[in-house]
């Protein structure tokens, strides 16, 4: 059956230190996420980072907030507005992005003026927040320096669809890192793409065809020259959440490989469960489990290589709620 698209070791994920229970917040407290500290820690090697402590702000400390232009805000003290830590936070973001090239993802503390990815309040004169929200100074610098890296906020990980999407991207990033270590060749790049056929089809059917055409037209080009562009486009495509309709399309394609192998009765059962999934009666894991069962009895070499069947460890149970 398809193997998880992961390296044999635990992939590394950077994370806001307070989410693992470190008492590094401005008030000396933490914001421990049990999802991260308990469930996910079994599968990932976490790299805890706290930019505000790293740049020399104490514990406890004066809180900072974003002010000014939401597109280019400043991070200043809430009590002493002459305290401006915008440049140190930005520079630390650039520094950490360069230092941690072996991570496969980053989980940021939501709404933080340093680490928030979106919806961070940017205050205007008079203390009112701007209509347009901003992004944490450190998070913006880090993400700009590493735009392909899967990133997510802790709060959004409580949404099962977003959680599954993030983990799918983390393991894809890990698989790509492993490919880079082995060395990019024409064959390895096309085989990588072939393994991701149905995963891409579930997320972004148009991009699957576009990337396939890109590799098909390589000609005499050096595959190492096109690889960074290919991977950037792959990660953009995977960031788009798959839907019940696109998953159903993939399930139908995969079930087609059993056409000559299983009985009419078994085919009817497969189609019934795929239909129930499409209409929200059962989660994705139900039709997938039945398909995996049939492929164990009737192996197919192409399907056995497909990342889609197991893009992340089964015991994370990420497809039980989508």
For 14-48, what is each residue's pLDDT tens digit? 999 999 999 999 999 999 999 999 999 999 999 99
Rg (CA), the chain: 22
Going along the chain, which residue ranges are E strands?
12-16, 45-49, 64-67, 74-77, 103-108, 122-123, 151-153
Average pLDDT over residues 203-217: 93
pLDDT for the residue numbered 218: 87
> How is residue 26 annotated by DSSP?
T
Question: What gap in Å lies between CA 48 and CA 278, rounded to an integer?
Answer: 39
* Residues 131 and 292: beta-carbon distance below 8 Å: no
The dihedrals phi and psi of 88, each to the nearest 5 degrees, come to -60, -40
Question: What gap in Å lies between CA 230 and CA 302, rounded to an integer?
Answer: 22
Average pLDDT over residues 141-155: 98
pLDDT for the residue numbered 196: 97
Q: What percent of the chain has pLDDT over 90?
A: 94
Task: Tell me which of 69-83, 89-103, 152-166, 206-220 is least confident.
Answer: 206-220
For 124-134, what is each residue's pLDDT tens digit? 988 899 999 99
User: DSSP labels for 204-245?
Assistant: -HHHHHHHHHHHHT-TTS-HHHHHHHHHHHHHHHHHSPP-HH
pLDDT for the residue numbered 292: 97
Residues 6+ apart with CB under 8 A from 104: 11, 12, 13, 149, 150, 170, 171, 173, 174, 177
Domain ranges of the chain: 12-158, 160-322
pLDDT for the residue numbered 9: 76
Residues 6+ apart with CB under 8 A from 245: 278
pLDDT for the residue numbered 167: 98
The dihedrals phi and psi of 16, each to the nearest 5 degrees, come to -60, 125
pLDDT for the residue numbered 53: 97
pLDDT for the residue numbered 4: 46
- pTM score: 0.94
Measured CA angle at 16 (ends 130, 23), to 5 deg: 105
For 281-316, what is each residue's pLDDT tens digit? 999 999 999 999 999 999 999 999 999 999 999 999
For 48-104, what is each residue's pLDDT tens digit? 999 999 999 999 999 999 999 999 999 999 999 999 999 999 999 999 999 999 999
């Amino acid at each position: 059956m398809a193997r998880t698209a992961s390296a044999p070791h635990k992939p590394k994920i950077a994370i806001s230190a307070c989410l693992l229970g470190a008492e590094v917040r401005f008030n000396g407290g933490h914001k421990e996420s049990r999802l991260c500290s308990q469930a996910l820690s079994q599968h990932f090697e976490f790299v805890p980072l706290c930019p505000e402590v790293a740049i020399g702000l104490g514990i406890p400390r004066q809180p900072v907030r974003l002010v000014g232009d939401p597109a280019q805000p400043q991070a200043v003290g809430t009590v002493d507005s002459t305290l401006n830590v915008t440049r140190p936070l930005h520079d630390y973001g650039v520094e950490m992005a360069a230092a941690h090239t072996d991570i496969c993802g980053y989980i940021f503390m939501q709404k933080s003026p340093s680490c928030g990815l979106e919806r961070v309040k940017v205050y205007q004169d008079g203390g009112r927040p701007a209509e347009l929200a901003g992004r944490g100074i450190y998070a913006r610098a880090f993400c700009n320096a590493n735009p392909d890296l899967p990133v997510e906020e802790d709060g959004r990980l409580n949404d099962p669809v977003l959680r599954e999407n993030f983990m799918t991207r983390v393991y894809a990033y890990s698989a790509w890192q492993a490919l880079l270590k082995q060395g990019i060749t024409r064959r390895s790049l096309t085989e990588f793409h072939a393994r991701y056929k149905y995963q891409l089809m579930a997320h972004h059917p148009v991009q699957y065809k576009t990337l396939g055409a890109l590799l098909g037209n390589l000609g005499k080009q050096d595959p190492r020259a096109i690889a960074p562009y290919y991977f950037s486009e792959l990660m953009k495509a995977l960031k788009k959440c798959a839907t019940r309709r696109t998953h159903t399309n993939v399930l139908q394609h995969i079930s087609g490989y059993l056409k000559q192998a299983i009985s009419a009765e078994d085919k009817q059962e497969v189609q019934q469960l795929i239909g129930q999934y499409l209409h929200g009666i059962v989660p994705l894991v139900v039709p997938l489990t039945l398909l995996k069962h049939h492929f164990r009895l009737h192996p197919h070499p192409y399907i056995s290589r497909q990342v889609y069947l197991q893009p992340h460890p089964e015991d994370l149970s990420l497809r039980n709620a989508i």
